[in-house]
Structure 1
Amino acid sequence: MAMPDPVSLANRTLRAARSVGYRGYYRLAAANYDRELLARRNRTPAGTFRCYEPLNRHGNDAMLAELAACCGPSDVVYDIGANVGIYALALTSGATDRHVVAFEPSPAAVKRLWRNVRANDLERRIDVLACGIGDDSGERPFYVSTYPELSAFDRASATRWAAVVADVRSVPIRRLDDIVLEDDLFPPDHLKIDVEGAAPAVLRGARTTLERHRPIVFVESHDEGLAGDVPGETRAILEALDYEIHERERYWRCEPR
């Protein structure tokens, strides 16, 4: 009888423990948001604000710290993949003239984002657009994951780390170029992109914005459990637009030459 592989057994044990911990946290967060019980203080490198997350989120986030450091006091930041708004809240809490446009396709996350915005009286400095950003416009299936932060337009992204798809919703998706042109928004000084592997599609739909306004781009470098070469595609698009890529651990800072 073959002995079990110790490494494989350890990995399964780790995945099981992570699954239990995540599910417990998400249940607690859902109850707090739904009842608006406690808007606790959340401390980040960019600023402190109140939110309904049970634990301190992004308290040591290197990308958030670097983004905040390169933002001017009245800059415009597009937060693409805003989730519940931690980046948007942090970037506006410490700079009274800074403006953030937060893009989020998940209906559940948008509701939570708005509750966090209202808890900090930031309705005038954070715009929330309930849509995904990609290389076309229309409606697309959105895969709601049992780990909400993995929810995405791609089923593979939504089922990483032993998560499963809990629901499939049809949500709007738009090109960033169309939004900048049609919606009378201030053009971005900075783009933050955290879209679970969809960064190439976001950038393909933002070519004119990148060419004309030359924002600094911060992008999460996702590749774990995803099909295709997402980092390679992302790099090719940015370099073709004459951006220089500075690789950090888990993210890139991309600047126009």
Structure 2
Amino acid sequence: MLDRIRTWLERRRYGTSDRVAGWNYDRRLLAVPRTTPGGRIRTYELYNRHGRQAMLRALCARCGPDDVVYDVGASVGVYALAVAAGSPDRRVVAYEPAPPTVERLQANCERNDCGDRVTIRPVGLGATDGTRRFYVSTYPELSSFDRESATRWGASVAATEPVPVRRLDDETRDRPAPDVLKIDVEGAGAAVLRGARETLRTHRPAVFLEVHREGLPGDRTAAIREELAAADYVIDEDDRFWRADPRA
């Protein structure tokens, strides 16, 4: 009974808030000012989505004034915008594969006059280059290359899209390498790290990773731990996210 009630509440919350937010994005009516650990930003989201998360506080505290930050799984851009707001000399590369979400990310970046401080890459990151089927969820935050993730908590697949996937190691050959790497990819963190082995070994960025346990089968953290250990990183585990730093 409790599971059914939770599913119903999650469905109502996600469905209603996304419909209202979508209407606001389409018309570019209200860009709400938000206070984040990096500074003040504006977004077309109608509540402070992610803006108070502990991982964002830790990430902003770690970033230097001229760091390059890769935001993998950027969603609508709260992390990217907060990091950019913290210093005019920071540069952010924001990776977001979900086509509808990319449009919202672009709208928020334009509203904040990010200029060349935030580069949007509408691709996924993974272990190999190619094209993969992406599942757009009726709960947009759950959209994923993994159908199981996209259908958590009573959600369903609204659409499927072919989306290009790149290895992070290849991405760093075309642009400055990251000083800080943030990963929030709905349980696919191990695949991102497998495609980033050279980057971790050579450039040694700090890694902040959202740990997704709820609603996904099996333990997906073991493979993440294995990749970070192989790169000689030390993991500091929080309930909701991991911070990993190269061993001194």
TM-score range, shorter chain: over 0.9
- Conserved 8 A contact 2:60-2:86: no
Q: CA deviation at 1:101?
A: 0.3
- Which residue of the partner structure matches residue 6 of structure 1? none
CA distance in 1, matches of 2:36, 2:187: 25
- Conserved 8 A contact 1:100-1:127: yes
Q: 2:90 is matched with which residue: 67, 75, 98?
A: 98
1:80-95 to structure 2, matched below 5 A, reads 80-95=72-87
CA distance in 1, matches of 2:217, 2:123: 23
CA distance in 1, matches of 2:115, 2:165: 23
Provide the alpha-carbon RMSD of the alignment: 0.9
CA distance in 2, matches of 1:38, 1:126: 22
Which amino acid is the alignment partner of residue 135 of structure 1? A
- Conserved 8 A contact 2:143-2:149: yes
Which amino acid is the alignment partner of residue 213 of structure 2? D
1:126-184 alpha-carbon deviations (Å, 9 max, x no partner)? 00000000011111000000000100000000001111111110010000001112x2x
- Which residue of the partner structure matches residue 143 of structure 1? 135
SS of 1:188 mapped into structure 2 = coil
- Conserved 8 A contact 1:102-1:128: yes
Does residue 116 (structure 1) correspond to residue 116 (structure 2)? The answer is no
CA distance in 2, matches of 1:130, 1:59: 22
- Conserved 8 A contact 1:82-1:88: yes
Which amino acid is the alignment partner of residue 122 of structure 2? A
Does residue 59 (structure 1) correspond to residue 51 (structure 2)? The answer is yes
1:171-212 alpha-carbon deviations (Å, 9 max, x no partner)? 10000001112x2x1110000000001100000000000000
Q: 1:195 is matched with which residue: 175, 181, 185?
A: 185
Q: 2:41 is matched with which residue: 45, 49, 53?
A: 49
Instruction: Give the TM-score taking structure 2 as reference length.
Output: 0.97
Does residue 70 (structure 1) correspond to residue 48 (structure 2)? The answer is no
Q: CA deviation at 1:31?
A: 0.3
- Which residue of the partner structure matches residue 209 of structure 2? 219
CA distance in 2, matches of 1:53, 1:178: 32
- Which residue of the partner structure matches residue 199 of structure 2? 209
CA distance in 1, matches of 2:65, 2:185: 26
- Which residue of the partner structure matches residue 123 of structure 2? 131
Q: 2:25 is matched with which residue: 33, 41, 53?
A: 33
Q: CA deviation at 1:229?
A: 2.5
Gaps of 5+ in 1: 1-8
1:88-141 alpha-carbon deviations (Å, 9 max, x no partner)? 000111211111000000111111101100101002100000000001111100
Which amino acid is the alignment partner of residue 254 of structure 1? A
CA distance in 1, matches of 2:10, 2:203: 42
Q: CA deviation at 1:56?
A: 1.6
Which amino acid is the alignment partner of residue 239 of structure 1? A
SS of 2:33 mapped into structure 1 = strand
Which amino acid is the alignment partner of residue 145 of structure 1? S
- Conserved 8 A contact 1:44-1:58: no
Q: CA deviation at 1:44?
A: 1.7
SS of 2:144 mapped into structure 1 = coil
Deviation larger for 38-47 or 146-155: 38-47
Q: 2:235 is matched with which residue: 239, 242, 245?
A: 245
Q: 1:180 is matched with which residue: 172, 175, 185?
A: 172
CA distance in 2, matches of 1:172, 1:200: 18
CA distance in 2, matches of 1:26, 1:224: 21
Instruction: Give the TM-score taking structure 1 as reference length.
Output: 0.94
CA distance in 2, matches of 1:94, 1:243: 26
CA distance in 2, matches of 1:135, 1:14: 34
Matched-pair identity in %? 54
- Which residue of the partner structure matches residue 16 of structure 2? 24
- Conserved 8 A contact 1:44-1:61: no
State the structure with more CA Rg: 1
